Amino acid sequence: MGFIQSKSDNSLFILHHQEHTAYLLLYVDDILLVTSSDTLRQHLMASLASEFAMKDLGPLSYFLGIFVTRHNNSMFLSQQAYAHDIINRAGMRSCKPVDTPVDTQPKLSSTSGTAFEDPSLYRSLAGALQYTTFTRPDLSYAVQQICMHMHAPLNSHWQALKRIIRYLQGTASYGLTLESSPSVALTAFTDADWAGCPDTR
């Protein structure tokens, strides 16, 4: 149909035809199709339906555990239900929330402390938390830190993981707002602490 696979995401396919553009995101049997015109969308849907059994679910509201809410010219992406599922899986439904996802003082180490008794639980929850970073960039650093120790988690790593879940408890309704902008500039902020890691310094 003229789509070209994206080099940055194997599940994303892009079509450029004259002044029209379409993006098709494919995950197993779920498809998200975004087009620059209704005519192109209808044409692509008809072409796909002629090859595959399909059902048009209409405007995007839910995709791979992410809820989408539209507000005028913006979309709010939320994984609130998924966050509550992680909290329940961890057995922390009644935990008290904290204001930050990571303790700013101690640094996690791969050698200090005793081994955590249930590495499978740790890996399962750490993996689940990785998926939340799609709509929660505020969790990215904290989740990256606990994922570095999935091969041999210690009790200190488990405490760090539980802190992220306590942060989720108070911020489960947070998400990501997408809206058009006249600027294409990307702004990033960082606070590099090159010698701060006790393992790699």
Q: Tell whether the model's pLDDT for residue 190 goes beyond 80.
A: no
Q: For 85-126, what is each residue's pLDDT tens digit?
A: 999 999 999 999 999 998 877 677 877 789 999 999 999 999
Sheet with 20-27, side-by-side order of all strands: 4-5, 12-17, 20-27, 30-35
Spatial neighbors of 153 by CB under 8 A, at least 6 apart, are: 115, 116, 119, 122, 123
Span 38-65, average pLDDT = 91
Domain count across the chain? 2
Say whether both 81 and 167 belong to one domain.
Answer: yes
Give 50's pLDDT tier (boundaries 50, 70, 90).
Answer: very high
What does the alpha-carbon distance between residue 83 and residue 78 come to, in Å, rounded to a whole number? 9
Q: Give yes or no: residues 147 and 88 share one domain.
A: yes
pLDDT band at 164 (very low <50, low <70, confident <90, very high): very high
Domain that holds residue 44: 4-58
Query: Is the same domain home to 50 and 81?
Result: no
Check: pTM over 0.85? Answer yes or no.
no
**93 and 173 inside one domain:** yes
- Both 170 and 130 in one domain: the answer is yes
Between CA 201 and CA 193 the distance in angstroms is: 9
Residues 26 and 84 in one domain: no
Pull the structure tokens for residue 67: 């809820």
